[in-house]
Amino acid sequence: MFQIKTIAMIMVAVAITACTGSAGDKFVGKWVNVGDPDITLEIEKSESGKSFKLTDRMTWMGEPKVSTYKATVADDSLMINTWAGNRYLTIEKDGTLLATMGRSCPNCDQWERAK
């Protein structure tokens, strides 16, 4: 009887763990840049569920430019490692995504969910 209860408790714990999302799940989706609506950021969860893929799309000097990054959860934010060092993505209480991505235009660090 003890073994059946132990096995049942282990199965319940595994099921709960497998169904629980990560802190990074709230970032998943398509985002539009507030400073330049032609710039988009798409965030997808990897198949393993342990990391995220960021696809940054913009037009640079009349040509499309696409950059991809791997992100991991760091506390309540996503962290990407770029040539300029670690960058952190956070979501404000109003739902605005804050992500500098190395741009210097006004409001280019602010993103809204695509409609």
Report the length, in residues, of the chain.
115
Each residue's pLDDT, cut to its tens digit, for the chain (115 residues) gives: 556 655 545 554 444 444 456 789 999 999 999 999 999 999 999 988 889 999 999 988 889 999 999 999 998 999 998 888 899 999 999 999 999 887 778 889 999 999 8
The pLDDT score that the predictor gives to residue 11 is 52
pLDDT of amino acid 14: 42
Q: What is the pTM of this model?
A: 0.76
* Domains assigned to the chain: 23-113 (2.40.128.20)
Exposed e or buried b for every residue in 84-103, given b needs 16+ CB within 10 A?
eeebebebeeeebbebebeb
